[in-house]
Amino acid sequence: MKKLVIIPTYNEKENVENIISAVFRLEEDYHILIVDDSSPDGTGEIVKKLQNTYPNYLHLSVRKTKDGLGKAYLHGFAWALQNNYDYIFEMDADFSHNPKDLNKLFEACKNADMSIGSRYSKGVNVVNWPMGRVLLSYFASIYVRTILGIPIHDTTAGFVCFSRKVLETINLKDIKLKGYGFQIEMKFRALKKGFKVVEVPIIFTNRELGTSKMNGGIIHEAVFGVLNLKWKSIIGRL
């Protein structure tokens, strides 16, 4: 079974080499695709050099346009399907997701169709986030769960494992949301297609190096994007 970890990057020179090394230290046989949005800090150049160390396992795709996390992942999904991967993972570059938890997601996904590294399925498992950020994220998930009626505690989670058939079945060209809304939309569409989605408790740790990409536009898109998803579901346009 071929497994691909997709890691989107933009100005992650402080983290990218360490996160790649951490994934390749795992006993499971993972491949990595870095989807870099033409980082001006040289992230892509670091990855190119590391490809000499990890030939055939480390892949790089550089996009010319920085147009959202969701678009970067959709680019990676298309690459994964073209290259015949069976399990496809989403993961951040900044160590907010512990690479060791990839194994837990993989084991869970073997008995489901999609597994989510969840901050909120067993209480609130977040380290070093400001309280305002914790409350925003936690209540955002409650809002999404209430509006969309889905049984997922961490609806905006970005640490996910998909079986190939999920990405083949969902029409990825229909995915419109880009930021946290993208994570919500992928989960909602998977559930609407009847796939089994499970949550795996993880501990989420705030980044130590680099800069967060959170902004008000991402939050605005997620709030109103959820309402749009609900409306599309009601009128049968999902």
140-189 residue pLDDT tens: 889 999 999 999 999 999 999 999 999 999 999 999 898 789 999 999 99
| pLDDT tens digits for range 45-64 | 999 999 999 999 999 999 99
Q: What is the CATH number of the domain that holds 144?
A: 3.90.550.10
Total tally of structural domains belonging to the chain: 1
The C-alpha atoms of residue 172 and residue 34 are separated, in whole angstroms, by 19
- According to DSSP, the residues that pair with 18 across neighbouring strands are none
Tell me, what's the pLDDT at 204?
95
pLDDT band at 43 (very low <50, low <70, confident <90, very high): very high
Tell me, what's the pLDDT at 210?
61
Tell me, what's the pLDDT at 214?
54
The C-alpha atoms of residue 114 and residue 167 are separated, in whole angstroms, by 10
- pLDDT at 238 > cutoff 90: no
Indicate the average pLDDT of the chain. Answer: 93
Tell me, what's the pLDDT at 220?
74
Lowest-confidence pick of 12-21, 118-127, 153-162 = 118-127
Neighbours of 211 (CB within 10 A): 11
- pLDDT at 113 > cutoff 90: yes
The C-alpha atoms of residue 186 and residue 160 are separated, in whole angstroms, by 10
Domain that holds residue 229: 3-235
Closest CA to 114 of 199, 178, 57, 234: 199
The C-alpha atoms of residue 226 and residue 215 are separated, in whole angstroms, by 17
DSSP 15: T
pLDDT band at 137 (very low <50, low <70, confident <90, very high): confident
Token couple for 9: 């990057």
Tell how far CA 221 is from the center of its chain.
Answer: 17
Closest CA to 184 of 70, 79, 78, 72: 70
Token couple for 175: 């995915």
Is the Cα torsion angle 229, 231, 233, 236 positive or negative in sign? negative
The C-alpha atoms of residue 22 and residue 233 are separated, in whole angstroms, by 40
- pLDDT at 200 > cutoff 80: yes
pLDDT band at 71 (very low <50, low <70, confident <90, very high): very high
The C-alpha atoms of residue 181 and residue 178 are separated, in whole angstroms, by 6
Average pLDDT over residues 197-216: 79
pLDDT band at 91 (very low <50, low <70, confident <90, very high): very high
Contact 182, 154 (CB under 8 A): no
